[in-house]
Structure 1
Amino acid sequence: MDYLTTLLLLISIVSASIIRILIRRFESVRLPPGPRPFPIIGNILELGINPHKSLTKLSKIYGPLMTLKLGSITTIVISSPQVAKQVLHKNGHVFSSRTIPHSVQALDHHRFSIVWLPPSPKWRNLRRVCATKVFSPQLLDSTQILRQQKVHDLLDFVKERCKKGEVIGFCERKMQKILVNVWAIGRDPTIWENPEMFMPERFLECEIDFKGHDFELIPFGTGKRICPGLPLAHRSMHLVVASLVHNFEWKLADGLVPENMNMEEQYGISIKRVQSLLVEAISIKHD
């Protein structure tokens, strides 16, 4: 009896494993190409300490749309403005939700925060309040929003049923997570001449702007998830930089010259320099 039970258990495990492998192969038929993942950890080791650079190198091998396995999560990496436009603009209603970490769910931020809420009537209302109350002098009529709430719900229902969710022939249901490599897009040599050089003059006669309409340069994002603070940054940045240049003379600390600066990067929530920049600010006395 024990022998028969053990045999049935082994047969069940083997059958379940075979079925799971077949299902995964069937689901991956329409996934973009990518490096072969290792068991359990997937392609995590290939990211290295600077994932943005590693992803850029991989995109030159597998193309601007590739598949990575980050642990158990299937991730689609986008590294070209053309594909980013299809994902963030033409199919923004499908791909604008975000993967929510368990630490965020533990504090219920995914239920009330504009950062983690998926596109929904509640999310749109919060974003509208943020844009009008915080970043704009104009105020919206809140009672009008309440009156139109039911109408919005019906329109959202229709849009939900009309979603297609397909990018360059790949199905949305297979894409568990979308990652747009803005670092690679902003340094595409087919768009920017000498992309690794500091040449701010390249923007003087350039028709590409940063407001989310041109996907060759999207530092503030684009589509439904574009940064709501973009207008504030645009208005204040010129004043801040002009004030610093007008009131101070700047030079590198400790006698450092620009040619010897360490420009290596360190990956984190934002990309920063490995060695912090130290400068001396000398106040200018204006008569």
Structure 2
Amino acid sequence: MFSTASLCPEGGLPSAFYPGGSGPSSFKQKSAAEKRKKFLRRLVKFRQMDFEFALWQFLYLFVSPQKVYRNFQYRYSTKNQYARDDPAFLVLLAICLTVSSAVFSVVLGLGFFGFLKFFLWTVFVDTIAVGMLVATTLWFLANRYLVMQSRHRRPGMGGGVGASLGEVGESEIEWAYAFDIHLNAIVPVITILHGVILLLISLVTHSNVASVAIGNLLWVVSVGYYVYITFLGYSSLSILHSTQLLLYPLLPTLFLYCLSIMFSWNYTTWLLSFYSSRVQS
């Protein structure tokens, strides 16, 4: 179960911690297939999942996402990989999607089979397929344009994820880590758009200025979380430069928010209409 030892220390781990005192490079590097096989095998072993720690990550993605990424550094120090090897986080995310899908089905007046269709769309298309597309795009762009030459690499930032990455000479980002960044970033989005908005559904589905401003502001906050957590995930890697470019989507988001108030564009009613038409089609 979860303990303080699961957290990444602020300054990383002393060299005496590693076998031979040589750091993470002394660990045997597993192939992507081996890591994937181990992860899938643990999906059916609930007793081996650390749900308490996964809940800790859910909470800190809201209040202090930097601490979540320090844990990725700790994982690399001990297991020589950045991506999660414990599926507990993914299982909790699936539970959240199940609950939110059920509530949306009630709001939209869907039956049981409508709920199933809505749930499958939300999990396999909106979360996994779109997430893989976004993660692959950012993974490719970061490896193609943001990776620095070894002679220009900056030192790790405060013991962050990039500290060991630069030390062991890695030259590209793990795709699984890029997908984990997406999963981290989507947690606040799901919580706000599939949770908070549903609690305020009677307030944010009108066409008056106040309703549009409040409802659309929640969208801005959720997009802001996604962009910022994504930025943190990549900026913590010491081999990358110019990661501030990942913050630029915030500008059109704010611009569109202003336009939405001017022209009474209610994002929430659009979302409800889209979900309803998709299930009924």
Per the normalisation by structure 2, the TM-score is 0.30
Q: Which has the higher helix share?
A: 2
The higher-RCO structure (CA 8 Å, 6+ apart) is 2
Per the normalisation by structure 1, the TM-score is 0.30
